């Protein structure tokens, strides 16, 4: 069966759908890997449409010229929006069927064949403002969620691992005879965990002169990636 046109015929339904799409992509742009430049092209046309529609929808008091301006605004907006929907929603490997539905659209019957399990993540870390470190996962657009573990003072001990459910657990086969659970690794005095759809993680309020270690792991419908190698950096 052919996929139906996602753009409604009536102006009122079009207005409702476009508002849902824009709100969803603005909220989830980072997680869905949609560049700001692509969104701006849509919102620029949205602004013109919204102004014209606000006037023309009052059919009794709007003039023929105002209704014509509305038609032109919709045509220009619809052209940009159609291209955006196809490229950045239906063909976006960072979005699944639920994400498409969040945009108010129906997933295509052939949309998004099963994606492979995420591979070992690549990680970069840089300094932000004073006391802030920014960790980022490179590539891996098939990931749905990005987990980041940050330790303070020392790396994770080898017996703390990510399991198949994406949880940090104890691997008893690698556990030392009597581990100190209050300080699981000599020198490791803190651990923070961030698990969201955002590939960029910002950690603030960190200590000057202390070394922090960062690890990423990725999750999608096919499984959980291995935990990345540690990337360390001294906080300023």
Q: Is the pLDDT of residue 4 over 60?
A: yes
10 Å CB burial of residue 211 (0-12, 13-18, 19+) is middle
As a whole number, the mean pLDDT across the chain is 90
Residue 116 structure tokens: 């492979």
Condensed to tens digits (0 to 9), the pLDDT of residues 85-112 reads 999 999 998 899 899 999 999 987 654 5
Lowest mean pLDDT segment, chosen from 6-15, 108-117, 140-149, 158-167: 108-117
> The pTM is what?
0.54
In the chain, list all ranges with CATH 2.60.40.10.
122-234
Tell whether domain 122-234 is in CATH 3.90.1150.10.
no
**Closest listed residue to residue 116, CA positions, set 82, 97, 89, 143:** 143
């Amino acid at each position: 069966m052919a996929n139906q046109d996602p753009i409604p015929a009536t102006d009122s339904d079009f207005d409702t759908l476009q508002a849902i799409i824009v709100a969803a992509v603005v909220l989830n742009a980072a997680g869905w890997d949609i560049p700001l430049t692509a969104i701006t092209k849509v919102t620029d046309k949205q602004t013109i449409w919204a102004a014209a529609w606000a006037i023309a929808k009052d059919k009794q008091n709007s003039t023929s010229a105002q209704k014509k301006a509305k038609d032109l605004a919709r045509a220009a907006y619809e052209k940009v929006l159609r291209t955006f929907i196809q490229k950045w929603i239906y063909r976006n490997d960072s979005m699944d069927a639920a994400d498409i539905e969040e945009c108010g659209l129906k997933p295509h019957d052939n949309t998004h064949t099963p994606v492979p399990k995420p591979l070992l993540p690549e990680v970069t870390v840089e300094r932000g403002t004073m006391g802030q470190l920014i960790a980022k996962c490179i590539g891996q657009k098939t990931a749905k969620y990005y987990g980041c573990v940050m330790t303070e003072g020392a790396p994770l001990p080898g017996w703390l691992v990510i399991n198949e459910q994406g949880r940090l657990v104890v691997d008893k086969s690698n556990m030392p005879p009597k581990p100190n659970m209050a300080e699981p690794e000599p020198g490791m005095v803190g651990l923070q965990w961030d698990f969201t759809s955002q590939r960029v993680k910002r950690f603030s309020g960190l200590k000057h002169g202390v070394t922090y270690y960062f690890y990423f792991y990725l999750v999608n419908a096919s499984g959980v990636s291995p935990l990345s190698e540690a990337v360390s950096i001294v906080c300023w």
